[in-house]
Amino acid sequence: MAWLDQLRPASFRGVPFQVDTIEHLAGDNVVLREYPFQDLPTVFRMGEAAEEIKLSAYVIGEDYIEQRDALRQVLSGQGELVHPTAGRMLVYVAGRFTTREAPTAEGGVCRFDLTFIRAEARRYPTQGPNTRTQATTAAQAGKQAAQEAFAASWSLAGAPGWVAANAVERLRATLEPTYSRLAAVSAQLGAFNSSQIASMQALRGGLESLVATPRQLAANIATLFELPSEMTTATARAFQSAFAWAFDLGTAVPVRAFEVSTISAGLAMYGAGQGAPLQVATSAKRQQAALQAASDGLLQTLATAAWIEAAAQAELANYDEALALRATIHTQCLRLAQTASTEAPTSAQPTTHLPEAIAAMHTAALADLQARSRDLVRLSTYTPGVWEPALVISHRLFGTAQWADEILAMNPHIEHPLLAPPGRELRIIRHE
């Protein structure tokens, strides 16, 4: 292609203009030192100098005044310059510029002397939102909303004795295994572990009395789902695993039916045996189901919020891990939101709407993962069917052989670049 075919119409920030001449000043900044009785100078290279682009430009035509004014309005600050021979680039307008008009000699023309400085990536970080903090704050708000929702829906007033006993037993059945998993993670955390032990001892010893004060009960349970102020990524991942156990308590700790019918010697036995639960929707059974749903919902929401807090403190290993975390957050928050939004309204409405708090927690957690995974490499896998050279694998996957060396580096089990063994999975960095 001839150079004339490659010329581009010049413009700055989308405003076109014509160009007569182009000057490009580039190179290094140097400091020259000359000393007496020394023939050769000493030259110090001080780094690359700013690139200056000088254009002798003009606008022409019957509407040149409108063109002139439009160009003058955009000649400030940073913008995209379409250079006639170098293409698109990001530049700054280098201060003042000159315009010249000669109405009697050159009617309908206005000339500009323009100087641009080629822009570069910022050397210093720019201020931006702290997505980790936002996710943590939203998770803590979700914990508070869960406590308020529990306090508004939990009440043993007028409940039969067996309903109250079953509700307390359900709490024990879900708290004990949750704490055992958390204790295994925090065992080496000193003072934090001591505070968790004290919290669980208070719950064990006073659970029968705490069930009469649901707000205090929820606050005590929430202390089990607190996190250390500082954690390593490994510790944060361990806490996530412990919290994830409580995501679906209905599956992890199946609800034990209190009323069971068993036919034995012609008699109906209640409270024992392995028979099927009585299919009678009594008010007491409905109250029992509501209490169990309230306690399970509290623990599941606290576990999800604490899991998100731990995820915000852990460093991401790769893009695939970020995708896995994203899927977990989405699935669990969606389940919690659906459950919370379909529950019947209570007589005492909480000050914080739980579905809204869950949605905010969901959004903040996904935004944090998106921000922190933007520059991560995404890993994939490929399993050769026959012995294949790395060059062939690279071309098969990406249409070019340039990633063959990378494939070899990622898979040290390949002993020869022409012999990638069949049936063995390869780790591949995606280059879409």
Same domain, 343 and 294: yes
- What pLDDT is stored for residue 270 in this prediction? 46
Residue 373 has pLDDT above 90, yes or no: no
Mean pLDDT of 302-316: 93
The highest-confidence range among 116-120, 333-337, 372-376, 412-416, by mean pLDDT, is 333-337
Lowest mean pLDDT among 44-48, 163-167, 274-278, 366-370: 274-278
33: Cα within 13 Å, side-chain hemisphere:
6
Mean pLDDT of 291-304: 93
Mean pLDDT of 384-407: 89
CA distance 152 to 306: 22
Residue 107 has pLDDT above 60, yes or no: yes
| 137 falls within a domain | no
Same domain, 229 and 283: yes
Mean pLDDT of 173-202: 91
- What pLDDT is stored for residue 267 in this prediction? 43
Same domain, 366 and 383: no
CA distance 428 to 404: 10
- What pLDDT is stored for residue 121 in this prediction? 58
Mean pLDDT of 279-294: 81
Look at the chain and report how many structural domains it folds into. 3
Other CB atoms within 10 A of residue 80 CB: 13
Q: Residue holding tokens 């065992």?
A: 187
> Shortest CA distance to 389 belongs to which of 361, 366, 420?
420
Same domain, 216 and 93: no
Same domain, 249 and 360: yes
- What pLDDT is stored for residue 40 in this prediction? 85
Same domain, 168 and 39: no
Per-residue pLDDT tens for 208-266? Answer: 888 889 999 999 999 999 999 888 888 999 999 999 999 998 888 887 655 443 444 44
Q: Which domain holds residue 34?
A: 3-118
- What pLDDT is stored for residue 262 in this prediction? 41
| 138 falls within a domain | no
Same domain, 322 and 387: no
Same domain, 337 and 425: no
Confidence label for 76 from pLDDT (cuts 50, 70 and 90): confident
> Shortest CA distance to 306 belongs to which of 133, 138, 139?
139
Boundary of a domain, candidates 373, 388, 410: 373
Write out the chain in H/E/C secondary structure: CCHHHHCCCCEECCEECEEEEEEEECCEEEEEECCCCCCCCEEEEEEECCCEEEEEEEEECCCHHHHHHHHHHHCCCEEEEEECCCEEEEEEECCCCEEEEECCCEEEEEEEEEEEEECCCCCCCCCCCCHHHHHHHHHHHHHHHHHHHHHHHCCCCCCCHHHHHHHHHHHHHHHHHHHHHHHHHHCCCCHHHHHHHHHHHHHHHHHHHHCCCHHHHHHHHHHHHCCCCCCCHHHHHHHHHHHHCCCCHHHHCCCCCCCECEEECCEEECCCCCCCECCCCCHHHHHHHHHHHHHHHHHHHHHHHHHHHHHHHCCCCCHHHHHHHHHHHHHHHHHHHHHHHHCCCCCCCCCCCHHHHHHHHHHHHHHHHHHHHCCCCCEEEECCCCCECHHHHHHHHHCCCCCHHHHHHHCCCCCECCEECCCCCEEEECCC
Boundary of a domain, candidates 326, 350, 373: 373
| 131 falls within a domain | no
Per-residue pLDDT tens for 330-356? Answer: 999 999 999 888 766 655 566 678 999
Confidence label for 393 from pLDDT (cuts 50, 70 and 90): very high
**274 vs 374: which has the higher pLDDT:** 374
The highest-confidence range among 128-132, 172-176, 426-430, by mean pLDDT, is 172-176
| 132 falls within a domain | no
- Please say whether the beta carbons of 355 and 341 come within 8 A: yes
- Please say whether the beta carbons of 29 and 47 come within 8 A: yes
CA distance 192 to 331: 30
Buried b (16+ CB within 10 A) or exposed e, 208-218: eebbeebeebb
| 419 falls within a domain | yes
Same domain, 397 and 300: no
Mean pLDDT of 83-92: 86
CATH number of the domain that residue 390 is part of: 3.10.350
- What pLDDT is stored for residue 1 in this prediction? 57
| 408 falls within a domain | yes
Lowest mean pLDDT among 140-154, 231-245, 266-280, 397-411: 266-280
Same domain, 54 and 189: no
Q: Residue holding tokens 């034995």?
A: 264
- What pLDDT is stored for residue 264 in this prediction? 42
Mean pLDDT of 279-284: 70
Same domain, 422 and 343: no
Boundary of a domain, candidates 95, 118, 141: 118
What's the chain's average pLDDT? Answer: 85
Residue 43 has pLDDT above 60, yes or no: yes
Confidence label for 268 from pLDDT (cuts 50, 70 and 90): very low
- What pLDDT is stored for residue 374 in this prediction? 76
| 389 falls within a domain | yes
CATH number of the domain that residue 63 is part of: 2.40.30.200
Same domain, 197 and 215: yes
> What amino acid occupies position 275?
G
Mean pLDDT of 44-65: 89
> Shortest CA distance to 343 belongs to which of 157, 209, 146, 211?
146
- The pTM (predicted TM-score) of the whole model is 0.61
Lowest mean pLDDT among 43-47, 202-206, 271-275, 363-367: 271-275
Per-residue pLDDT tens for 11-28? Answer: 998 889 999 999 988 888
Q: Give how far Cα 255 sits from Cα of 154, 179, 251, 277, Å.
A: 17, 19, 9, 11
Confidence label for 85 from pLDDT (cuts 50, 70 and 90): confident
| 123 falls within a domain | no
